Amino acid sequence: MCGIIGIASYKDISKEILESLKKLEYRGYDSAGISTINNGEIVENKCAGKVSDLEKLIKKTSLSGNIGIGHVRWATHGAPNQANAHPHSSEEVSVVHNGIIENSAIIKKELIDKGHIFKSQTDTEVVTHLITENLKKMNYLESVFETLKKLEGSFALGIIFKKFNNLIVGARRGSPLAVGYTDKEKYIGSDSYALNSMTKEVSYLDDGDVCVLTKDKIEFFDKNKKKIEKKIHKLANDEAVYSKGNFKDFMSKEISEQPEVIKKCINEYLDKIRKEINIVNFPVDPKKITKVNLIACGTAYHACAIGKYWFEEFTNIDVSVDVASEFRYRNNKIKTNELYIFVSQSGETADTIAALDFCKKKGAKTCAIINVTESSLSRLADLVLPIHVGPEVGVASTKAFTGQILVLLLFILKIARNRNEIKEEEYLNIIKDLENIHSKVSLILNNKKIIEDLAVDFIDIKGSIFLGRGLSYPVALEGALKFKELTYLHAEGYPAGEMKHGPLALVENGMPVIVIAPKDRFYEKTISNMQEVIARGGKILLISDHADEVATSENIWSEIRIPKIHKFLSPFLSNIPLQLLAYYVALKKGNDIDKPRNLAKSVTVE
């Protein structure tokens, strides 16, 4: 989390740096700050709150300089207040940091013993003081390398110096850092998105790398201080997709884009004439895969949970699904004839990267399903399958989830066909419905007013439960996650059949229970579970494609009818009303839709 920007220019960079911070705000929005070199001095401006607050502060104090670093923070060590906001500066040096310094307490004690006075509760400030201490005896580059030697943990750093006032040093271990080039300016940024409006040419630091930027050039060094060259990547020209257009917020824009992104993604992967899925270069021969392991965090984990059901339906392969933060620390028996699939929107989630790294080190073959193709995960995986949904800016993942399950499904169908484990007729039926699924998503979106009206009744609830079976169980988990992260109301996703083993005790008169029950082989069972909830006073919102007067009866509070679709494709449709429900309840509560409290889009700390 946290966003870093640094600019070395021939002109005043105050405006550019603020604009970049606005773009980086999706990585953290607890506090923000900027340091520049002005008249030979380090000038630091920072405050608690959003970049708009920093902008107001800067209007009062003024900001200028040709060299500067900026930061948006997602608090790890120390409360989100002005003192803990980055940059952290001494007389000599100013530092912005993304990540965690794990041994900061020990280093801090040593530095205090040497007379250093700390102003914040952050782990980052030890970097500032260590470099300051080292600068007494060495030049700027040596002092950075010497400091890095002492640090444990993960970090990306941006550093400016009072005495070396024409340059910025960047360093990476564990947390991503990109650099950008134009003729007249050079940049560092915690991702290429922050740099996209200023340059289309970027390079990425690898772990241990250090870079030195002046307005004219960038030099790279590896962890042994040896000069190295870096590949330059060209960024796509997709500035327009970063704008909200006529939408109130990015989330409503991204929800509404889903029919289009489904069409685009299918076009990328499907040969419509031969009905073939274009995925090649499998890292493990599909016929020889003995087991598949699906690993991710949050919404991407829910996509994996849906993938497990599909793998089991269409292939004979054993499947496990894991949350990355658990997987990476378990005593996993990694095997080379198993396939490890990692799903991530950002491609920068620390736990997912660490889990992939763990598998790679044990010789396993890895595949990454990702949205941001210029990400760490995509550089590490043996096979990368992009989801092609375009930038997702809203912190709550919507279109990326749809893209993730779509690419997972295509990948699974390809493997199933390769292994001759899916009947041709079934395969063709699914492909046929997939080709048409975007129009059904549009139908649901066109009726969003129904959900907007229902949302009023959720504003004052104590909590809610989301229920489903089979493929609808992970959909229920995802619906509950979206609901809680946006509305700040408690929501629990549960397998419908498990209710009577405990959670039924939560149900009381008027408690909203959202039941996802498409007409698949679980339908009757889910409806029975629903009746058990109704009998205890639960207020049911049913999401189904099936008109069943007898089973549903007048005891249902409300129903959202979704279009009929192949029984294995229901998550593509049943998830949409859940996104809209969370959105409208949050909107009516006046919550920040694109930046829910306490969260960040890219979770680069473990």
Which residues are catalytically annotated?
Answer: 2, 601
Here's the x/- map for ligand F6R, 397-436, by CB under 6 A: it reads as x---------------------------------------
Q: Using the rule CB under 6 A, is 346 a contact of ligand F6R?
A: yes
Least distance in angstroms from the C-beta of 370 to ligand F6R: 8
**CB nearer ligand F6R, residue 168 or residue 306:** 306
Here's the x/- map for ligand F6R, 316-345, by CB under 6 A: it reads as ----------------------------xx
**CB nearer ligand F6R, residue 156 or residue 481:** 481
Least distance in angstroms from the C-beta of 169 to ligand F6R: 28
Among 475, 464, 473, 436, CA closest to 564: 436
Q: Using the rule CB under 6 A, is 192 a contact of ligand F6R?
A: no
**CB nearer ligand F6R, residue 431 or residue 514:** 514
Among 138, 186, 180, CA closest to 10: 186
Residue 11 has, within 13 A of its CA and on its CB side, a CA count of 6
Structure tokens at 378: 């995509």
Q: Using the rule CB under 6 A, is 104 a contact of ligand F6R?
A: no
Q: Using the rule CB under 6 A, is 143 a contact of ligand F6R?
A: no
Least distance in angstroms from the C-beta of 74 to ligand F6R: 12
Among 209, 211, 201, CA closest to 231: 201
Least distance in angstroms from the C-beta of 185 to ligand F6R: 29
Binders of ligand F6R among residues 262 to 291 (CB under 6 A) are none
Contact 537, 509 (CB under 8 A): yes
Coil, strand or helix at 150: helix
Q: Using the rule CB under 6 A, is 300 a contact of ligand F6R?
A: yes
**CB nearer ligand F6R, residue 289 or residue 389:** 389
**CB nearer ligand F6R, residue 298 or residue 470:** 298
Integer CA distances (angstroms), 603 to 194, 457, 581, in order: 16, 33, 25
Least distance in angstroms from the C-beta of 341 to ligand F6R: 13
Q: Using the rule CB under 6 A, is 298 a contact of ligand F6R?
A: yes
**CB nearer ligand F6R, residue 389 or residue 569:** 389
Coil, strand or helix at 32: strand
What Rg value do the Cα atoms of the chain yield, rounded? 26
Q: How far apart, in whole angstroms, are the C-alpha atoms of residue 33 and residue 119?
A: 15
Q: Using the rule CB under 6 A, is 574 a contact of ligand F6R?
A: no
Least distance in angstroms from the C-beta of 313 to ligand F6R: 24
Least distance in angstroms from the C-beta of 300 to ligand F6R: 4
Three-state secondary structure string covering 349-384: CHHHHHHHHHHHHCCCEEEEEECCCCCHHHHHCCEE
**CB nearer ligand F6R, residue 63 or residue 297:** 297
**CB nearer ligand F6R, residue 480 or residue 542:** 480
- φ, ψ of residue 312 to 5 degrees: the values are -70, -30
Q: Helices 472-487 and 298-314, interaxial angle, to 10°?
A: 170
Binders of ligand F6R among residues 486 to 525 (CB under 6 A) are none
**CB nearer ligand F6R, residue 101 or residue 605:** 605
Q: How far apart, in whole angstroms, are the C-alpha atoms of residue 467 and residue 234?
A: 45
# binding residues, ligand F6R (CB under 6 A): 14
Q: Using the rule CB under 6 A, is 355 a contact of ligand F6R?
A: no
Judged by CB under 6 A, the residue of 7, 51, 202, 297 near ligand F6R is 297
Give the Cβ contact number of residue 277 at 10 Å: 21
Judged by CB under 6 A, the residue of 352, 472, 575, 604 near ligand F6R is 352
Least distance in angstroms from the C-beta of 353 to ligand F6R: 9
Go through 71-81 and write b for each residue having 16 or more CB atoms within 10 A of its CB, e for each that does not.
Answer: bbbbbbebebe
Give all strands (DSSP E) within 214-364, no chain letters. 218-221, 227-228, 233-234, 270-271, 276-277, 291-296, 318-323, 338-344
**CB nearer ligand F6R, residue 31 or residue 346:** 346
Q: Using the rule CB under 6 A, is 396 a contact of ligand F6R?
A: yes
Integer CA distances (angstroms), 279 to 266, 331, 372, 447, 469, in order: 12, 32, 18, 35, 30
Region near ligand F6R per CB under 6 A, out of 146-154, 175-183, 292-300, 582-590: 292-300
Contact 303, 558 (CB under 8 A): no
Coil, strand or helix at 190: coil
Q: How far apart, in whole angstroms, are the C-alpha atoms of residue 73 and residue 87?
A: 10
Q: Using the rule CB under 6 A, is 485 a contact of ligand F6R?
A: yes
Q: Which alpha helices (DSSP H) does 4-113 contain, by range?
A: 14-24, 51-61, 104-113
- State the residue for tokens 């909590």: 463
Q: Using the rule CB under 6 A, is 579 a contact of ligand F6R?
A: no
Least distance in angstroms from the C-beta of 596 to ligand F6R: 9
Phi-psi region of 390 (alpha: psi -120 to 50; beta: other; left: phi over 0): left
Residue 261 has, within 13 A of its CA and on its CB side, a CA count of 26
What type of residue sits at position 527? I
Here's the x/- map for ligand F6R, 430-469, by CB under 6 A: it reads as ----------------------------------------
**CB nearer ligand F6R, residue 325 or residue 526:** 325
Judged by CB under 6 A, the residue of 8, 177, 603, 605 near ligand F6R is 603
| Distance of alpha carbon 145 from the chain centroid | 31
Judged by CB under 6 A, the residue of 349, 487, 552, 579 near ligand F6R is 349
Least distance in angstroms from the C-beta of 162 to ligand F6R: 37
Residue closest to ligand F6R, measured at CB: 298
Structure tokens at 33: 């700050």
Binding residues for ligand F6R, rule: CB under 6 A, are: 297-300, 344-346, 349, 352, 396-397, 481, 485, 603
